[in-house]
Amino acid sequence: MAPFRFLEEVALADAAFEATGDTLSDLFEAAAQAVIETLVNPVTITPTCRKTIERRAPDLPSLLFDWLSDIVYLKDAEGLLFKDATVAVQPDQSDGSWVLRATLAGEPIDPTRHELRADVKAVTKHLFEVRQDGRCWVARVVLDI
Amino acid sequence: MKLSTTMTVNRISDEVWEIPVSEKPGMVVPARIYATEQILTSMDSGVFEQVTNVACLPGIRRYALCMPDGHWGYGFPIGGVAAFDQREGVISPGGVGYDINCGMRLIRTNLTVEDVKPRLEPLMTELFRKVPAGVGSTGFVRVNRQEFEEVMRKGARWCVARGYGWQQDLERIEEHGCIPDADPSKISDQAVKRGINQLGTLGSGNHYLEVQVASQERIFDRETAAKLGITGHDQIVVMVHCGSRGFGHQVASDYLKVFEKAMKRYGISVKDQQLACAPFRSPEGQDYFAAMNCAANSAFANRQVITHQIREAFSSVFSHPAEALGMEIVYDVAHNIAKVERYEEGDLVVHRKGSTRAFGPNRPELPDCYKETGQPVICGGSMETGSYLLVGTDRAMHETFGSTMHGSGRTMSRAQAKRSVRGEQLKKDMAQRGIIVKAVSMSGLAEEAGFAYKNIADVVETVDRAGITRKVAELRPIGNIKG
């Protein structure tokens, strides 16, 4: 399971988390898992469909912000919740931008089977951070509930 | 007095406190917090930091304000109020919040608790069936893009024209349920896709639909209450708290990005990225205003469709048409919005984020039926403690840009609340106290336990004593629907 922990002291009325990863791809998977688990207990999700996401951004914080926002968007726009994500993050040497290719595995929302949690309104920029701590990547994210 | 800030906070009166401009570089006006000493000492440090950040924004007039239910938010504190000059000032999505036109609606009935108690369980089951709640829930109203644009332009008027409400509903909604200057061309495809299927849904978090009782002994001003349609005698009323759902959330997210870039262009720097703003008169400022009004209208429409469903549920359970049950709207008012309003200084862009408009008597915006009483103000408490109906005052017009509190304000994190009680246990405990709860999410239910919030009675007492709103009635819950 990808490592993340919720930060209680950061957002009283909302949900904040810190995700970590040995690689950027791991970090982006862990952060996605935190968003997924804010919305639903993933144990109750049986993946019946896959969504492929491709994103490009000028910097890592923007790429992570857009990626996590995609999960929130798909929940409302396509009525999908996910069990987990597989992510590859790479730099584009030609222009210095960052590229994400990801697959989300999930299924349409079914309140009779899914253990639903909190409806995330948005990924916020409050205290939003992506940093390298030694050999580990760390991200801090606050979600508006 | 021990505060969570080292800033100087001067006592103006027992309920008003001021942080002078000398406390933070860049403050244009002082910050004022409405609170008793007890509430002030319980406020988190974010309130002091954020209200003084707001006081630094260009073109702000008089004061940056925070109401007694204030707590840390994004950019502005929750409970924040700020008014900006139209020409020199800014508009900020952070001063409105992600849930544009999150607000409250109160519907009266002529039923009593004696009529309803024996059928409360089937009533709550029917309401739970008819008003979808929870993560990503969708409503029964199906519209195409063109029709959704009409919802953006016309708000609750669109609903009434489609048969989801009564003509007289409109006069008892802020702005008659339809804010002008809404322009669907300023809305992204993403926002449309997030919101087009969600009309008539509650959402989750602290949103709810509640069946409540207005008892004679909890009415503080009988004459005003009667004019608002609240007669007491264990009268049943229904309260709805929700907003613009995924549509509004996406509009806010879209324009925060636009404003981040615009700030560089206009040479504006802010203390917090979530305070991103643009001059009100700039193309970006006007685009956001037009898009925000679309989301605000969709929220009025959302609460209107929910009202239609509530009337249908009551009608089916009590075998009488909703008209015969006296199910009139008392009022519908936003608590996350920015509006242009006229004050002594002229037309100002008033931001209310977790704060309710509280216009005093005789304001031209009020319908004739409330010209004498002042505008009804609906403040939701936690699902265990009850809610309040108040009215706006002249004093609010002079002191707080016609604004007051909106709820009770959290004091405990969601995670701590979940550790303190299990949703199933809370549901049982509440049932023993005569409150039937229907919840989509048991963990979500635990997060909203009464002990996670300030005591709303203390907050209401503060605004009443400060004179910026007058309390009319307390409403106690007997049934609650949560996402």
Which pLDDT value is given to residue B238?
A: 98
Which pLDDT value is given to residue B136?
A: 87
Architecture of the domain delimited by B10-411+453-482: Alpha-Beta Complex (3.90)
- Give pLDDT tens digits for B302-350: 999 999 999 999 999 999 999 999 999 999 999 999 999 999 999 999 9
Split at pLDDT 50, 70, 90, the class of B409 is confident
- Give pLDDT tens digits for B425-463: 999 999 999 999 999 999 999 999 999 998 999 999 999
- The answer, yes or no, to whether residue B288 has pLDDT greater than 80, is yes
Which pLDDT value is given to residue B318?
A: 98
Architecture of the domain delimited by A13-144: 3-Layer(bab) Sandwich (3.55)
Q: Average the pLDDT over B169-183 and give the result.
A: 98
Q: Average the pLDDT over B273-295 and give the result.
A: 97
Q: Average the pLDDT over B358-382 and give the result.
A: 97
Q: Which residues of A have a CB under 8 Å from any CB of B?
A: 6, 8-9, 11-15, 39-40, 69, 72-73, 75-77, 79, 81, 109, 111, 115-119, 121-126, 128, 142, 144-145
- The answer, yes or no, to whether residue B80 has pLDDT greater than 90, is yes
> Per the CB < 8 Å rule, is A118 touching B204?
yes
User: Who among B190, B205, B273 is closest to A145 (CB)?
Assistant: B205
Q: Average the pLDDT over A72-80 and give the result.
A: 97
Which pLDDT value is given to residue B404?
A: 98
Q: Average the pLDDT over B279-300 and give the result.
A: 98
pTM of the full predicted structure? 0.97
Which pLDDT value is given to residue A1?
A: 46
- List chain B domain ranges: 10-411+453-482
| Phi, psi (deg, nearest 5) at residue A143 | -100, 135
Split at pLDDT 50, 70, 90, the class of B28 is very high
Taking the C-alpha atoms of residue B259 and residue B277, their distance in angstroms, rounded to an integer, is: 6
Taking the C-alpha atoms of residue B152 and residue B291, their distance in angstroms, rounded to an integer, is: 9
Q: Average the pLDDT over B47-59 and give the result.
A: 97
- The answer, yes or no, to whether residue B410 has pLDDT greater than 90, is no
Active site residues of B: 406
- List chain A domain ranges: 13-144
Q: Is B247 helix (H, G, I), strand (E, B) or coil?
A: helix
User: Who among B194, B273, B483 is closest to A76 (CB)?
Assistant: B194
Query: Residue A6 CA to chain centroid, in angstroms?
Result: 13
Query: Picking from A6-15, B162-171, B175-184, B246-255, which range would have the lowest pLDDT averaged per residue?
Result: A6-15
ipTM over 0.90: yes
- The answer, yes or no, to whether residue A2 has pLDDT greater than 70, is no
**Residues A63, A57 contacting (CB under 8 angstroms):** yes
- The answer, yes or no, to whether residue A34 has pLDDT greater than 60, is yes
- Å from B142 to nearest chain A CA? 14
- Give pLDDT tens digits for A102-136: 999 999 999 999 999 999 999 999 999 999 999 99
Average pLDDT, chain B: 96
Which pLDDT value is given to residue B82?
A: 98
- The answer, yes or no, to whether residue B279 has pLDDT greater than 70, is yes
Interface mutation vs chain A, best among B50, B92, B135, most A CBs within 10 Å: B135
Chain A residues touching B197 at Cβ < 8 A: 79
